[in-house]
């Protein structure tokens, strides 16, 4: 297999019939929707982590930050 898995979803019959009449293929629509949801969830997690880290940053003195930056530049 080429790295893909099958994901299925149940939809109302009227929706499936409408998709067939309109020529809408569910695969690309489902893929886009899932990709969007995953991106949103990842962003939410990153925002949570950033908020947690932001709480700790004020505790680091400016001199320490400057020292760490200088050390990093020296590498």
The residue with tokens 């009227």 is 14
Residue 44 has pLDDT above 80, yes or no: yes
Answering whether pTM is above 0.85, one says no
The rounded mean pLDDT for the chain is 91
Q: How many domains does the chain have?
A: 1
Domain of residue 60, residue span: 13-74
What residues contact residue 18 under an 8 Å CB cut-off, 6+ apart? 24
CA dihedral 45, 46, 47, 48 (to 10 degrees): 50
3 assigned to some structural domain: no
Q: Residue 6: inside a domain, yes or no?
A: no
Question: Is 8 a domain residue?
Answer: no
């Amino acid at each position: 297999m080429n790295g893909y898995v099958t994901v299925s979803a149940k939809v109302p019959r009227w929706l499936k019939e409408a998709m067939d009449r309109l020529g809408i293929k569910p695969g690309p629509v489902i893929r886009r929707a899932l990709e969007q949801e995953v991106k949103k969830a990842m962003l939410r997690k990153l925002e949570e982590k950033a908020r947690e880290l932001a709480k700790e940053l004020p505790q680091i003195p400016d001199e320490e930050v400057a020292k760490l930056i200088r050390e990093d530049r020296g590498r």
